[in-house]
A and B are shown apart, each in its own frame.
Chain A
Amino acid sequence: MRVLVIEDEKKTASFIRKGLQEAGYVAEVAESASAGLTMSANSEFDLIVLDVMLPDGNGIDVSRQLRNEGFKGFILMLTALNSTRDKVRGLDSGADDYLAKPFEFDELLARIRALLRRKEGGRTKLSFEDLQMDLVLRKVQRSGAEISLTQKEFSLLEYFLRNANRPLTRTEIGENVWDVHFDNESNVIDVYVRHLRKKIDEPFAPRLLHTLTGYGYVLKRGDQ
């Protein structure tokens, strides 16, 4: 796995490279936007860690240029600016993820792993019975009718679709969808499942989302 770090601050670049190498990646450093663009053009990288503030240009422009030149790998942006507007700008320019400085090194590694998993996962479409989900366009259809879901409802349904026919406990759902360990007092999962049901199950037949009392939920066909 080859990673290019475009970062003008020598020390930052050096500890990122060191850390990445320790984690088993092949890492190279470019200290300016132009150097970074040249290096990415000359050899293949799977991921570019890109600083937003560079001496000879803005990371957002670099990211846009990389995409224009056909760079297919992932771009993870690093920046000291931390506001919604900057995030939106960064992601709009073609970056895949965004991490604000200073960061936990473990979080950088986790984000990189998540990005690379995305590549390996490969599937862009999930389906079960007449329910279809497009992970790229973030669209859900059942029986050809488009259903609009909020971000979390989408993630929840995605988890159910990836584990169709398998009974899922509340703990599993909480940890996978929310990254939260819910206790018995919390009703967050139940509220979301109820809302999801209202959108994907109630207008259609047969019902797909079933409650397993005292256990959790399962996505399966019909009345068994």
Chain B
Amino acid sequence: MNILRRQGIRLRLGLLYLSLFAVGLSVFCAVLFQYFQRAQIQAFDTTLYNYAVDISTNLEMDFVGRLFVVNSPRPEAGKFFPFRLLGSFLEIRDSQGKVLVYSRSLNEPTMPLDLETLQRLEQEKAIFKTITTASLGVESTSPDLRLLTYWTHRTGWKEPLILQIAVPLDLLRRERRDLLLFFLLGIPAFLVIAGMAGIGLSRRALKPVHDMTVKARGITGVDKLTERIPVPVPPDEIRELAQTFNGLLDRLERAFASQERFIANASHQLRTPLTILKGELDLLRKSAALADGVRSGLDSAAVEINRLILLVHDLLLLARLEAGHDSIAFTGVRIDEVLMKVVARLQKLAHNKQVQITTHFFAEKPGSELDVEMQGDEELLDSMFENFIENAVKYSPPNSVVELTMKVLPQAIEVSVRDKGPGVPPELRQKIFERFTRIQPSNIVPGSGLGLSIAAEIARLHNVKINLVSPLEPAPGQFSPGTEVTLTFPS
């Protein structure tokens, strides 16, 4: 039952329908078979009775009670009987039950006639009974026979006669067997056809649902949130579902728009004063005539403003990321170009820290170094690379090298950033990807503390795997610094 519950609705419906159908059909056939049997035996009995009447018309009796069989014309000649006449047995008795004549095929008069039958016979005139062939002690093609005990009396006869005719039931049996065989073969065959038709029918019935699913699946990303599922005209469950779904989309679109509006507003509200502050400060610092104390104060303010700007930028980015997959527009992005843009931007920082960034492109299959276009959000990927490379630069000691490698493998693209910094202690390896985690206080290494949590979120959205190895090559008895972060892109 549990297995059944796990199957799809289509199969479940199909099976349910099929089993109901199978039970119904079997019951119907069983009843039909019973009825057929009864009707068949009635028809058989009627024919047998007529046959007995035919035989009795050929009997003559004289006044002393001697019996004659008038042979011509035989009334049964040219008629069709559901039994072979040659296989039938006949006994004629007087009204007391004494056997007068019996057919040659009976070795001796063995037809059963008990007192009770004899008494009933006077009332009912004809009594039918099925007996086994063995009880007569004769050979026959059929294991059982239909016995008619018939009371006949005609004017001019001295006394009534009792005709006992037994005929083989094998034709009847064969008919019955054929019908049973037809049922046994026909029902399964019919069920198979009905089952397939049932599955086809349920598929057809569920097709509008399937179509709706396909359509709904296509509604991904912000741009498509305005799309709606077509609502069918007939007022049925499908229409109800489509309307419900569209209602859901309406609400989703509204919620999404308000979220976007909030981010845009917050963005504007926060950035405007920052822009002014930064602009005025930049201009002030550019003007030459400044006392030393004022200049250093302005420089310090500029550093703090830059930190504030970074923090706002990161917070807004996080808000966008939390809005989820749908708020992000995926397009074809060249990883090499994004990477080099970030490197170019970080040149100044690296120069100030006297850190050299080396960049190496490598491909397992030579010539495919630049086959690095993938689906993604360029701004987010830029942000992710920037966070990792900037971190490497910031934590590097002076006069060291940050090695950047992009490796094109058949199944993936690996970008790794390797620095000679202090490394990440094992207990912090998970923690650095949480918000506002910092290894060094921000007065030593600047930053918002959001960078890596953002980078991790971006990586998750792009199915990028982050692998962090630190410290590198641990030598015995000595803390060997350095960190390598490898970003694996599915290709």
- Whether chain B is bound by chain A comes out as yes
Does B360 reach chain A (CB closer than 8 Å)?
Answer: yes
Per-residue B-contact encoding for A174-186, CB less than 8 Å = 1, 0 else: 0000111111011
Q: Which residue of B lies closest to A87 (CB)?
A: B379
Per-residue A-contact encoding for B284-320, CB less than 8 Å = 1, 0 else: 0011000000000000000000000100010010001
Does B90 reach chain A (CB closer than 8 Å)?
Answer: no
User: Are the CB atoms of B340 and A105 closer together than 8 Å?
Assistant: no
Does B468 reach chain A (CB closer than 8 Å)?
Answer: no
User: Are the CB atoms of A180 and B344 closer together than 8 Å?
Assistant: yes
User: Are the CB atoms of B276 and A84 closer together than 8 Å?
Assistant: no
Segment 239-290 of B: residues with Cβ below 8 Å from A: 264, 267-268, 270-272, 274-280, 282-283, 286-287
Which residues of chain A are near B329, meaning CB under 8 Å? 83-85
Does B370 reach chain A (CB closer than 8 Å)?
Answer: yes
Which residues of chain A are near B347, meaning CB under 8 Å? 179-181
Q: Which residue of A lies closest to B358 (CB)?
A: A185
In the complex, A163→B274 CA distance in Å? Answer: 42
Which residues of chain A are near B287, meaning CB under 8 Å? 22
Does B334 reach chain A (CB closer than 8 Å)?
Answer: yes
In the complex, A188→B357 CA distance in Å? Answer: 12
User: Are the CB atoms of B340 and A180 closer together than 8 Å?
Assistant: yes
In the complex, A36→B379 CA distance in Å? Answer: 31
Does B356 reach chain A (CB closer than 8 Å)?
Answer: yes
In the complex, A83→B336 CA distance in Å? Answer: 20
Per-residue B-contact encoding for A129-158, CB less than 8 Å = 1, 0 else: 000000000000000000000111000000
Which residues of chain B are near A183, meaning CB under 8 Å? 356, 358
User: Are the CB atoms of A15 and B370 closer together than 8 Å?
Assistant: no
User: Are the CB atoms of B279 and A12 closer together than 8 Å?
Assistant: yes
Which residues of chain A are near B386, meaning CB under 8 Å? none
- How many residues on B have C-beta within 8 angstroms of the other chain's C-beta atoms? 45
Query: Assuming the A-B contacts A80-B271, A198-B367, are A9 and B276 also in contact, with contact meaning beta carbons closer than 8 angstroms in the complex?
Result: yes
Q: Which residue of A lies closest to B305 (CB)?
A: A102
A interface bracket (residues with beta carbon within 8 Å of B)? 35 or more
User: Are the CB atoms of A185 and B379 closer together than 8 Å?
Assistant: no
In the complex, A12→B280 CA distance in Å? Answer: 9
Does B331 reach chain A (CB closer than 8 Å)?
Answer: yes
Does A192 reach chain B (CB closer than 8 Å)?
Answer: yes
Per-residue B-contact encoding for A74-90, CB less than 8 Å = 1, 0 else: 00000011111100000
In the complex, A207→B286 CA distance in Å? Answer: 50
Central interface residue in B268, B309, B337, by most chain A CB within 10 Å: B268
Query: Assuming the A-B contacts A80-B267, A80-B271, A181-B347, are A105 and B401 also in contact, with contact meaning beta carbons closer than 8 angstroms in the complex?
Result: no
User: Are the CB atoms of A15 and B272 closer together than 8 Å?
Assistant: no
User: Are the CB atoms of B267 and A81 closer together than 8 Å?
Assistant: yes
Does B378 reach chain A (CB closer than 8 Å)?
Answer: yes
A72 to chain B, nearest CB (A): 28
User: Are the CB atoms of A179 and B344 closer together than 8 Å?
Assistant: yes
User: Are the CB atoms of A102 and B340 closer together than 8 Å?
Assistant: no
Which residues of chain A are near B369, meaning CB under 8 Å? 191, 194-195
Does A167 reach chain B (CB closer than 8 Å)?
Answer: no
Contact of A152 among B267, B331, B336, B367 (CB under 8 A): B336
User: Are the CB atoms of B271 and A101 closer together than 8 Å?
Assistant: yes
Interface residues of B (CB under 8 A from A): 264, 267-268, 270-272, 274-280, 282-283, 286-287, 309, 313, 316, 320, 329, 331, 334, 336-337, 340, 343-344, 347, 356-362, 367, 369-370, 377-379, 401, 403
